[in-house]
């Protein structure tokens, strides 16, 4: 039997992986070994080989900015054909991770959630599980940042979580007056302000807040020219709150200008005018 898996084998494994992931995200208990055994009845591969291949799918999911099955740590050195199979599955199921129920109004703020906000990740405090150059190339190919930027449902859901967190934090500090003034700018005033949420420090100073992904903490994201301009002009007020792992329990980190101290900015498009 060849080492590389065939197209039909990879397709069957990826479909089963997403079925396991759906149950995992729903909080259901997974019997992975039993799932591997059932899959082995359809494709002639040993259970251990199936488990390793699932870890390879986790690596592809990491590169694509997607959640992966807990307990299936991303494993490098995967068959590159897996990328195409996972990409086809995601393209065929564009709504599989819709974060906001269809019957929930986009401008409605609900009960405050728990949100953990920590320091920004670095290669020193959190080594990447898979070669970062490979992940970056894969992310560019699949346009992770562009996809997240265009996913309005994901963006609105993330902004809602931050609005609720800001309001709850101010109320816990006894600043009910400021909590009532927190403004969901992108919804209430429209886009183009260079920030999505206008909040406050407990002493009354402004906090202008931006972003969200279903991926991990290093999943790349877009920053517009206008956002960069506002960040530079209002350095004392502008914060970037980056939500990640949104499909599970959202986590976040915050960074302050200058952004170049924390992120590497790469031009991805240019405006072309005729000479």
Domain ranges of the chain: 7-92, 116-261
Q: Give the lowest-confidence range in 13-22, 63-72, 137-146, 184-193.
A: 137-146
Q: List, for residues 229-266, the tens digit of each pLDDT value.
A: 998 999 999 988 888 888 888 889 888 888 888 888 87
Q: List, for residues 128-174, the tens digit of each pLDDT value.
A: 566 666 666 666 666 665 665 556 777 888 888 899 999 999 999 99
The answer for residues whose C-beta is within 8 angstroms of residue 50's C-beta and 6 or more apart is 13, 36, 39, 40, 43
Half-sphere exposure of 53 (CA within 13 A, CB side): 30
Tell which wins on pLDDT, 98 or 250: 250
pTM: 0.72
Q: List, for residues 36-67, the tens digit of each pLDDT value.
A: 999 999 998 999 999 999 999 999 988 888 88
The secondary structure of the chain, three-state, reads CCCCCCHHHHHHHHHHHHHHHHHHHCCCCCCHHHHHHHHHCCCCCCHHHHHHHHHHHHHHHHHCCCCCCCCCCCCCCCCCHHHHHHHHHHHHCCCCCCCCCCCCCCCCCCCCCCCEEECCCCCCCCCCCCCHHHHHHHHHHHCHHHHHHHCHHHHHHHHHHHHHHHHHHHHHCCCHHHHCCCECHHHHCCCCCCCCEEEECCCCCEEEECCECCCCCCCCCCCCHHHHHHHHHCCCCEEEEEEECCCCCCEEEEECCCHHHCCCCCCCCCCCCCC
With a pLDDT cut of 70, the percent of the chain lying above it is 80
């Amino acid at each position: 039997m060849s080492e590389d898996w065939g197209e039909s084998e990879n397709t069957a494994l990826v479909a089963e992986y997403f079925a396991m992931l759906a149950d995992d995200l729903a909080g259901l208990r997974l019997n992975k070994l039993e799932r591997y055994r059932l899959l082995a009845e359809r494709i002639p591969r040993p259970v251990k080989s199936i488990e390793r291949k699932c870890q390879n799918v986790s690596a592809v999911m990491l590169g694509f900015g997607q959640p992966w099955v807990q307990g299936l740590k991303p494993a490098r050195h995967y068959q590159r054909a897996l990328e195409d199979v996972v990409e086809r599955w995601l393209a065929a199921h564009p709504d599989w991770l819709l974060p906001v129920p269809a019957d929930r109004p986009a401008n409605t703020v609900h009960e405050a959630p728990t949100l953990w906000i920590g320091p920004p990740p670095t290669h020193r405090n959190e080594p990447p599980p898979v070669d970062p150059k490979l992940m970056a190339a894969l992310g560019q190919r699949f346009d992770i940042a562009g996809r997240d930027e265009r996913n309005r449902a994901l963006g609105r859901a993330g902004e809602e979580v931050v609005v609720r967190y800001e309001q709850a934090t101010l109320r816990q500090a006894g600043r009910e007056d400021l909590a009532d003034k927190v403004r969901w700018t992108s919804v209430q005033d429209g886009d183009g302000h260079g920030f999505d949420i206008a909040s406050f420090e407990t002493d009354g100073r402004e906090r202008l807040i931006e972003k969200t992904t279903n991926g991990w903490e290093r999943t790349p994201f877009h920053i517009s020219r206008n956002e960069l301009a506002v960040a530079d002009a209002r350095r004392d007020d502008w914060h970037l709150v980056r939500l990640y792992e949104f499909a599970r329990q959202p986590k976040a980190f915050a960074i302050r200008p200058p952004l170049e101290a924390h992120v590497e900015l790469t031009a991805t498009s240019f405006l072309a005018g005729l000479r």
